[in-house]
Amino acid sequence: MRVDILTLFPSMFKGPFDESIIKRAQKRGILEIHLHNLREFAYDKHRMVDDVPYGGGGGMVMKVEPLFRAVESIRNEIKSSPKTILLSPQGEPFTQKKAKELAKEKYLLLICGHYEGVDERVKQHLIDEEISLGDYVLTGGELAAMVVVDVTVRMLPGVLGCKDSLREDSFYEGLLDYPQYTRPAEFRGWKVPGVLLSGNHQAIEKWRREMRIKTTFEKRPDLLGQKELTLEERGLLEKIKQREN
């Protein structure tokens, strides 16, 4: 997958993209990240990328021309029209489901807004969609773009060492993950559940399936309403509800 990111602050991406799984994905040739400084597409004397809002009001608005020039130049370079996404608090909330969808794309182009946001004509005529990280306002789209790349890239085949760890992740199949433990088996009197030490793989699998339902029921019952539960999962849920009553 190739990801192009348009930003006023390319150096913000150093660090997050040079470590861990994202770094490995790039090394393995699964991921290519291209950072573009929007200022390079502002051709006036002062390289202005923002201007005062029509109608007055505080703050500055990102200008339409540099954004169009930048996106068109990237489209020409790759001879394709990548899915073009504006990070925006007004967009569709970002979810694991959305990341699964994005992971199927060959190219992604992410636009990071700043200041009071971008000229509305960018939203109307340049991008395919807006994605929001949540119902709050960030200073800029950079942190949101990092999150979108991180979550999406984990889904690409060959990025994670173990395929199962992806499937068991919270949200991947509409449930939260089961509780995880590592050594020591006892710490300050708190013991790891005996079944995990039993070596009985069937029993461990069964315990984990039950724990995923239990954790989801206790922490995010709304997710259970959105998921089609299997017969076994429905049985487990009933058992957990009875136990907790």
Ligand X SMILES: C[S@@+](CC[C@H](N)C(=O)[O-])C[C@H]1O[C@@H](n2cnc3c(N)ncnc32)[C@H](O)[C@@H]1O
CB of 8 to ligand X, least distance (A): 10
Residues tagged in the binding site annotation for S-adenosyl-L-methionine: 113, 133-138
Residues tagged in the binding site annotation: 113, 133-138
Reading phi first (left if > 0) and then psi (alpha if -120 to 50, else beta), residue 183 is in beta
Q: Nearer to ligand X by C-beta: 60 or 224?
A: 60
Active site residue 209: no
* The residue type at 9: F
* Sequence-ordered strand ranges (E) for the chain: 2-7, 32-37, 50-51, 61-62, 83-93, 107-112, 129-132, 186-187, 190-191
Q: Which of 89, 119, 142, 212 is catalytic?
A: 89
What is the DSSP-derived secondary structure letter of residue 6? E
Structure tokens, 213: 């339902």
CB of 112 to ligand X, least distance (A): 5
- Our CA dihedral for 165, 169, 175, 181, rounded to 10 degrees, sits at 80
Q: Nearer to ligand X by C-beta: 68 or 204?
A: 68
CB of 52 to ligand X, least distance (A): 14
Q: Rule CB under 6 A: which residues touch ligand X?
A: 87-90, 112-114, 116-118, 132-134, 136-141, 144
Q: Nearer to ligand X by C-beta: 137 or 231?
A: 137
Catalytically active residues are 89, 116, 154, 169
